Amino acid sequence: MKVLITDGVDAQCGQILAQNGFDVTEKPKISKEELKEIIGGFDKLIVRSATKVTAEIIEHGTNLKLIGRAGAGVDNIDIEAATRNGIIVMNTPGGNTVSAAEHTCAMMLSAARRIPQATADLKQGNWNKKKFTGVELEGKTLSIIGLGKIGREVATRMQAFGMKTIAYDPMIPDEYAAHLNIDLLPLHENFIRADFITIHSSLNESTRNLLAKETFDLMKDGVIIVNCARGGIINEEDLAEAITSGKVAAVALDVFESEPVNPDNPLLKLEQVIATPHIAASTNEAQEKVAVQIAEQIVAWKQKGKLEGAVNAAAVELAQAPGVQSYLTLAEKLGATLAQIAPLRANKMTVRTSGEFLHKFNEVITAAALKGFLDIRQSKDTNYINAFAMARESGISLEQKFEKENPDYTNLIRIELENGSSKRMIGGTVFGDKEIRIVMIDQFLVEFKPEGNIIIYNNIDKPGVIAHVTQLLLQHNLNVAYVALSRDEEKKVAMTAIVVDGKVPAALIEEIKAINGISEAHLALL
């Protein structure tokens, strides 16, 4: 039980592990090359954020059984590579919430009152009172992008300053936000109304460059922006232009797209920008909490087989199960598709599995469906371990049902999503060992492979509709790879799924919606 600890994790971590029989080695400033050389001799690795546990490092860790992250974010660990190699990844959610929230508030106040700039000027022997006139927070509107634990803590603190709080988080119910005295609004409304904006989202494909030229144009002149979440969410080049033009009055950044930040980064040359070196979670209290927490979780795993904070345990457990991986992939695809074609907010999800083979995997199939759904709908990374908790936190009630057999398919997964009177359903199966197919949407039996760019639309069943759609595709220079058609003869309605080659512009979906006879159209990116 040899443990390697890097990144200067608080000493209490190693002490607790050593007291419980672990052989602990601490190398706080280890280089990538040295880590590659020695990692094969350890079965556990504990890091903070500095060590990048890449697929290459993992491949050299031939004896690794667990990677522990003393903190919440695991974007410095290649979870897919770890899962593929049967390595459990464990983090410590919540340990640094207060520290990150307090740092965010401090940065907001500092930006509003220009405290760092005034301090630097004063130390140069100046006394420029008028130069550093600030703005009050009281009565201003604060937009919180991402209402996770940190976002909610920031809201509570800034409400005490008299700020009106609005937010964007597609997974939080209106009722829950209202209980926190927060108005949930669409993303563009947040940008339009906010005097201050603070980011509390993880970095993924849906949040990368979330703040860029187009969104800056929506904002009030003189808006103040804080980002203590992840670099890359704000387009730094566009931000520099927005500051120079006067659109953005002040910015406070704890994170950058590339870290350590390049000294030539134009943002560092702008007086309106204050910055810290990714230290939002760096308080003595937070570092002690996460160090103790990760050590105690590892001890509990050793002594009781209890996996607290594991982000990929279910996937690791099932990695060797013959035949199940295709169904987990299918469940994720079904959830992701439903997230893109169903109403934005949902309060209930039902996952139905049919077939004896799927019965024993019902729980993890549900987790996979949630992962696919939540990865699209929210800004945080979801995994099989936290999917259920994140669904509950988002106000989604969950029901799991099993049917011994289905008259049409040996094994079938169906997901139903409800929001009041609105209800959508999607179902799929696996042919052979790996041929994943969606086979039904609502009342339509429509079969296609859930892969690529898929346009899905409903229409009145009448001649000419598909001809209009294909004409639009031609105008946008998009090639049709596959077409699946289905119709409800009784109700005289139809559904079509078209898989196309190439990127589908949002304008095309709007043009399709405008075709006479089409009731709704969606783009599913899978």
Catalytic residue numbers, as ranges = 230, 259, 278
Smallest Cα–Cα separation from 71: which of 100, 103, 99, 93? 93
CA distance 55 to 36: 11
The identity of residue 113, as a single letter, is R
CA distance 349 to 332: 14
Q: What's the CA gap between 107 and 112, in Å, rounded?
A: 9
Strand-by-strand arrangement of the 518-525 sheet: 479-488, 493-501, 453-460, 518-525
Distance, CA of 187 to CA of 201 (rounded, Å): 13
Round to whole Å and give the CA distance between 147 and 166: 10
How far apart, in whole angstroms, are the C-alpha atoms of residue 353 and residue 348? Answer: 17
Beta 479-488 vs 453-460: how paired, if at all? unpaired
Would strands 412-419 and 273-275 be described as parallel, antiparallel, or unpaired?
Answer: unpaired
Strand pairing partners for 500?
453, 480
Within 156-271, strands assigned E span 164-168, 183-184, 196-199, 223-227, 248-253
DSSP H or E segment with residue 2:
strand 2-6
Torsion, Cα of 404, 405, 411, 413 (10° steps): -70
Q: How far apart are CA 46 and CA 13, in angstroms?
A: 9
Backbone Cα Rg of the chain: 25
Residue 52's φ and ψ, nearest 5 degrees, are: -95, 110
Main-chain dihedrals φ then ψ at residue 371, nearest 5 degrees: -60, -50
- Do residues 427 and 413 lie in contact, with contact meaning Cβ atoms separated by under 8 Å? yes
- Residue holding tokens 């974010």? 73
